[in-house]
């Protein structure tokens, strides 16, 4: 079954690629083509639905246009790969021996403000799918509206949480209306790219692992509503499916929709047994096989067992079952887009790197596990993959000392006056930082306990501009002892370190300070709240001067031959980096990441600009470019320098 499907694949992809070129040339006219190879029949491309999706189920196998087909897929995301590198990564996926890619669509990227959509440039997901088709790959589409993906708020736009009554992932009319509007708009972009119309999309997921989210009387109704909006968006011409962990299959599936299973290394036997017991007469599709894992700030760097993975993937393919490698290439959660995990007792923000220990690393280089999997897939399927593209050399950059600086405090804009703290969403801010400012009232004695009802997710506390301490949600902190006097200016510089992307906690992930602030048991009132979304890098106000506290640093560096590199951030504290206007992501000396991937596609031959925001500040910022990533030993406790106030408190205790 699987081998025959693989042999058919090359001819089928050549056909659809030719179809696309002809369609572009004659502007949508009907084209009838003869499909070469293995008894394929002729078909007509028309702007309408077929009676059945091209990929359908017959007994325990998939049929693609009537012929047995085995889905051999790899997950990679357009948003985590610079657009200039899309085709390179797609070619490497095909050269691995896979015939399909699986792709999430991130709602928050495309509808950053309600009713305004962006499918241009890096967000041109339709072009990504067209390039996949041209490179010989089919597509399994995962439109959400929830995607998880270790992505901020699971892909939901932050503005949904401006309404404090909003219930994400529920049948609440306000939520369903917003989600339906999004899915219908996405359908205009991607429904024409279904295989029924000559495109690459074979299957479309309904929601995502809902069985792990909530089990209540609303479950079936909600999933059916999502299925209906997917159909109404035009995706009913593809095979629809749900995917859940083995124990959650019954909780996340709906009648009449194909069910797939997700699991990680070492859990295949149990998960597949649960799937077969749940849908014994259906084909097996491992919709996510976790061939790696992701990193949290302050935790160990994740490395996984490549030998065991190869054996488990081989077993699936040899049985003729279908599989998707999550991830085949992880890439980078550029900008502010990393998510966070959480349970009842912990908050675990993800690093910007989404390398995932995948077969194709963060920079697009091929790991030994890539070549081991490639040989195994070719052996099992008896299908020779395309040649592996030649790698482009990485480059290095000499150490740069950035001495032009500007204090973060010098660029603060006008604030909003409020009796109580407001969240970022309350003030139409999605990402970045926010300053909360008030005055210390009269208190008994000089030692005072500052307490926050909630913090999302990290705060530096200043008294009259001097750092008094840090409160870190990651460490379960919500209080800080202060040495105060009446009338002092109290400022909390709060970072959104990444919203939780999993469990029902997503419903309460408003960023900033979403509650009251207390001092010695009394609520603090009369706040000035200053947004710092940092949607663009600062370009003015830099000078050759010493800078203390949170500082921006600016510099230029020369590049002869452009190439990918890793900016080594090991000598920096905590912050973010822009290069030529591109926000690469976050750094933090708690580890495990000690570098940021800098794509060569974002560099220029000649002069390039770099801007660093380091909350630690100091005389200057020091950074260089390496041809490899750097990993730091994780630090569980905060490493920010103690202020004079903290030192006094430590002495007193």
Which residues are catalytic, by number?
209, 288
How far apart are the C-alpha atoms of 295 and 302, rounded to whole Å? 6
Angle formed at CA 579 by CA 577 and CA 584, multiple of 5 degrees: 50
How far apart are the C-alpha atoms of 387 and 371, rounded to whole Å? 12
Are 248 and 278 spatial neighbours (Cβ–Cβ below 8 Å)? no
How far apart are the C-alpha atoms of 446 and 21, rounded to whole Å? 75
Strand residues in 496-605 grouped as ranges (E): 517-519, 522-523, 527-532, 543-544, 547-548, 551-559, 565-568, 574-579, 582-588, 595-598
How far apart are the C-alpha atoms of 80 and 125, rounded to whole Å? 12
Cis peptide leading into residue 457 (ω within 30°): yes
Instruction: Determine whether 610 is exposed, middle or buried from the number of CB atoms within 10 Å of its CB (0-12, 13-18, 19+).
Output: buried
Question: What torsion do the CA atoms of 461, 463, 467, 468 make, to the nearest 10 degrees?
Answer: -70
Q: Helix, strand or coil for residue 114?
A: coil
| H-assigned helices in 191-338 | 219-232, 249-252, 268-278, 306-318
N-terminal to C-terminal alpha carbon distance within the chain = 72
Q: Edge-to-edge strands of the sheet including 522-523?
A: 479-483, 447-452, 517-519, 522-523
**Tokens, residue 604:** 């220029």
Task: Give the DSSP letter of residue 385.
Answer: P
Task: Give the DSSP letter of residue 173.
Answer: H
Cis peptide leading into residue 145 (ω within 30°): yes
How far apart are the C-alpha atoms of 615 and 643, rounded to whole Å? 13
Residues in Cβ contact with 291 at an 8 Å cutoff, skipping those fewer than 6 apart: 265, 304, 309, 313, 325, 326, 327, 328, 356, 357, 358, 359, 369
């Amino acid at each position: 079954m699987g081998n025959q499907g693989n042999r058919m694949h090359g001819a089928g992809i050549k056909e659809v690629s030719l179809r696309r070129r002809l369609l572009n040339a004659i502007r949508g006219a009907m084209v009838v083509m003869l499909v070469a190879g293995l008894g394929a029949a002729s078909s007509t491309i028309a702007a309408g639905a077929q009676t059945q999706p091209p990929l359908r189920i017959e007994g325990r196998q998939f049929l693609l246009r009537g012929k047995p087909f085995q889905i051999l897929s790899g997950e990679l995301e357009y948003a985590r790969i610079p657009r200039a590198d899309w085709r390179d990564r797609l070619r490497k996926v095909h050269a691995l021996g896979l015939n399909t890619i699986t792709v999430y669509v991130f709602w928050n990227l495309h509808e950053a403000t309600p009713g305004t959509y962006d499918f241009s440039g890096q967000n041109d997901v339709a072009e990504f799918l067209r390039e996949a088709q041209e490179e010989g790959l089919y597509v399994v589409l995962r439109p959400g509206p929830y995607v998880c993906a270790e992505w901020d708020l699971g892909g939901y736009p932050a503005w949904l949480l401006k309404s404090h009554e909003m219930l994400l992932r529920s049948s609440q009319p306000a939520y369903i209306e917003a989600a339906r509007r999004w899915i219908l708009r996405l359908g205009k972009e991607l429904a024409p790219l279904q295989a029924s119309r000559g495109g690459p999309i074979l299957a479309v997921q309904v929601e995502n692992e809902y069985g792990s989210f909530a089990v209540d009387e609303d479950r079936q109704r909600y999933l059916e509503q999502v299925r209906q909006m997917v159909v109404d968006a035009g995706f009913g011409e593809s095979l629809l499916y749900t995917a859940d962990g083995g124990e959650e299959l019954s909780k996340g599936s709906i009648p009449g929709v194909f069910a797939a299973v997700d699991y990680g290394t070492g859990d295949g036997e149990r998960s597949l047994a649960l799937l077969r017991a749940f849908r014994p007469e259906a084909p097996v599709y491992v919709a996510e096989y976790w061939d790696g894992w992701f990193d949290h700030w302050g935790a160990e760097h994740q490395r996984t067992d490549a030998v065991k993975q190869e054996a488990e993937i081989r077993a699936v393919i040899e049985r003729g079952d279908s599989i998707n490698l999550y991830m085949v290439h992880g890439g980078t959660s550029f900008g502010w887009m990393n998510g966070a995990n959480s349970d009842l007792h912990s908050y675990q923000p993800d690093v910007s790197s989404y390398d995932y220990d995948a077969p194709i690393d963060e920079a697009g280089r091929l790991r030994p596990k890539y070549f081991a999997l490639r040989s195994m897939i070719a052996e099992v399927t008896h299908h020779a993959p395309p040649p592996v593209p030649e790698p482009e050399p990485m480059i290095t950059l000499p150490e740069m000392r950035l001495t032009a600086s500007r204090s973060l405090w010098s660029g603060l804009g006008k604030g909003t006056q409020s009796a109580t703290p407001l969240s970022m969403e309350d003030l139409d801010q999605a990402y970045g930082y926010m300053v909360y400012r008030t005055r210390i009232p009269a208190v008994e004695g000089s030692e005072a306990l500052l307490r926050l009802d909630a913090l999302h997710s990290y705060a530096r506390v200043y008294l009259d501009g001097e750092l008094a301490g840090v409160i870190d949600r990651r460490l379960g902190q919500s209080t800080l002892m202060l040495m105060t006097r009446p009338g002092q200016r109290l400022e909390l510089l709060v970072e959104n370190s990444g919203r939780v992307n999993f469990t029902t906690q997503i419903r309460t992930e408003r960023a900033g300070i979403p509650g009251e602030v207390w001092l010695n048991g009394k609520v603090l009132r009369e706040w000035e709240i200053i947004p710092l979304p940092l949607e663009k890098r600062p370009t003015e106000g830099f000078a050759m001067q010493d800078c203390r506290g949170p500082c921006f640093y600016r510099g230029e560096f020369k590049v002869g031959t452009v190439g990918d590199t890793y900016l080594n951030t090991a000598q920096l504290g905590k912050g973010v980096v822009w290069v030529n206007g591109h926000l690469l992501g976050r750094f933090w000396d708690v580890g495990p990441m000690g570098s940021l991937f800098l794509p060569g596609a974002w560099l220029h031959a000649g002069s390039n600009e770099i801007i660093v925001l380091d909350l630690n500040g100091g005389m200057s910022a020091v950074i260089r470019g390496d041809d490899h990533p750097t990993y730091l030993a994780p630090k569980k406790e905060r490493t920010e320098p103690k202020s004079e106030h903290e030192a006094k408190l430590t002495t007193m205790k």
